[in-house]
Structures are given as C-alpha cells and as structure tokens.
C-alpha cells in the first residue's frame, strides 16, 4: 500500500512538473519574442534593466529550471535533485512573501517611483520624433486600454495631445479628452484586482508548499531505502 502511494506521488510530481516545464518554455519563448520584436521599455528608471521582456525571460528561465529539476528528481528518484528542488521552491516562496510585504510597506514610495517613470517615458514620447518611438506606442496602448490621458491629465501632453487620449479619436474643433490620468487609473485597476492578485499569490504559495512536501516525502523514502544517488 505504501509503495503504491509513493509511486502515485512520484508520477504526480512528474506530471505536474512536466506541465510547469511546458508553461515555463512558453513564457521564455514569449519573452524572447518580445525582446527581438520590440525595443525594451524600462518599468522603472531606477533599474533600467527591469523591463517587461526581461521579467518574462527571468520568470521563464526560473520556472523551466525548477520544474526540470523536480521532474528529473522524481523520475530518477535522485535525492540530490529532490533536495535542490525543495530548496529552490523554499527560496522562491520567501522571495514572493518578501516582495508582497515590501509592496504593502513601501506603497507610497512605489507610487512615487511609478509616477516618475511614467513622466520620463512621456517626455521621451513628446520629443520631435516621438510619434514613431516605442515610448509613444506604449503610451498609446496604455491610454486606449485604460481610457486615460497623460500621467495626471491631458495637460501633461501640452499641445501634443495624441489621438489615443480621445474617446472619439479627437474628431472636431474641440476634442474631448479622457478626464482621468493614467497614474490614478492604474492605481484604481490595481486596487480593483487586489483580491484576485492576492488569491493568485496564495494559490502559488500553496502549490509550492505541496511541491516541497511531495519532494521531501520522496527524499525521506529514498534515504531509508538506500537509493540516495540512483541515476
């Protein structure tokens, strides 16, 4: 009975990690596509390397490597791989909890940094050749999708208000612009989806805890059976 449960646990880990591996490869591929097709736009000016494409690349690499270790460790019943898988999941969970705490503690500073980043990108988009830059394309996408204009309001654009600021593509002698700025709109969107984001983080932590429990159970069984380094 115990052997049957352990075999079930082993193959459950294999299937789950294989699915995670496929997901990681997909995220990594999309990150590579974003890097090659679009010029990276920094999420924050404090850390210029922190772009959406780079975040996808890092996430894809981490998911792929961790899930591969879990899959191979369970399939081969290798104690070293299972222990490495356990430790990586543990550190990932600590990083996620730390990031969540920092978001709560430094909420005002993060808002200030986001506002500064938006203003810097807006100034870049307002340059003479700004209509063809990635910064302008990013602003058009934000303003169209979130029904907002500028950082605080349309006055941030001065005399160069883009058509994406208007519900009707700025038709007429006195075009009507979106009243709300994108900073307030993004804050409202985050607050409206806070519960969904929180539940997603909790589910992710539960999956990681289950992965750690499964890997440690197999680790202990392999240690008792004397197959710690079987390949």
Q: How far apart are CA 179 and CA 99, in angstroms?
A: 33
- Domain around 175: 126-187
Does 46 reside within a domain?
yes
Q: How many CA atoms lie within 13 A of 227 on its CB side?
A: 14
Do 203 and 181 share a domain, yes or no? Answer: no
Does 114 reside within a domain?
no
* Domain tally, the chain: 2
Does 117 reside within a domain?
no
* Predicted pLDDT of residue 102: 82
Cβ neighbors of 204 (< 8 A, separation 6 or more) are: 96
pTM score > 0.95 for this model? no
Does 192 reside within a domain?
no
* Predicted pLDDT of residue 136: 80
Cβ neighbors of 152 (< 8 A, separation 6 or more) are: 181, 183, 184
Do 12 and 68 share a domain, yes or no? Answer: yes
Beta-bridged to residue 51, according to DSSP, are 42
Does 119 reside within a domain?
no
- Residue 132 gets the label, from left (phi > 0), alpha (psi -120 to 50) or beta, of alpha
Does 88 reside within a domain?
yes
* Predicted pLDDT of residue 137: 78
* Predicted pLDDT of residue 195: 81
Does 141 reside within a domain?
yes
pLDDT tens for residues 162-198?
Answer: 888 887 766 666 778 888 888 888 888 888 887 887 8
Do 24 and 79 share a domain, yes or no? Answer: yes
* Predicted pLDDT of residue 9: 82
Do 22 and 70 share a domain, yes or no? Answer: yes
Do 8 and 99 share a domain, yes or no? Answer: yes
Residues of the chain with pLDDT below 70 are 1-3, 37-52, 129-133, 169-173, 225-231
Q: What is the CATH number of the domain that holds 151?
A: 1.10.1450.10
């Amino acid at each position: 009975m115990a052997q049957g449960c352990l075999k079930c646990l082993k193959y459950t880990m294999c299937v789950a990690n294989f699915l995670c591996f496929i997901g990681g490869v997909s995220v990594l591929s999309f990150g590579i596509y974003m890097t090659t097709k679009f010029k990276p736009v920094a999420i924050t000016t404090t850390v210029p390397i922190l772009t959406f494409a780079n975040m996808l690349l890092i996430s894809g690499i981490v998911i792929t490597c961790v899930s591969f270790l879990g899959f191979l460790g369970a399939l081969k019943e290798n104690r070293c791989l299972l222990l490495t898988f356990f430790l990586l999941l543990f550190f990932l969970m600590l990083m996620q909890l730390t990031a969540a705490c920092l978001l709560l503690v430094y909420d005002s500073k993060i808002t200030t940094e986001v506002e500064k980043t938006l203003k810097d990108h807006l100034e870049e988009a307002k340059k003479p050749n700004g209509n063809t830059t990635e910064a302008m394309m990013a602003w058009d996408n934000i303003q169209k999708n979130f029904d907002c204009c500028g950082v605080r309001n349309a006055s941030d654009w001065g005399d160069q208000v883009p058509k994406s600021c208007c519900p009707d593509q700025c038709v007429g002698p006195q075009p009507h612009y979106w009243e709300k700025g994108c900073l307030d709109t993004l804050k409202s969107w985050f607050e409206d989806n806070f519960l969904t984001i929180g539940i997603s983080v909790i589910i992710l932590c539960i999956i990681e805890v289950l992965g750690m429990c499964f890997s440690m159970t197999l680790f202990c069984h392999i240690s008792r059976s004397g197959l710690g380094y079987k390949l």
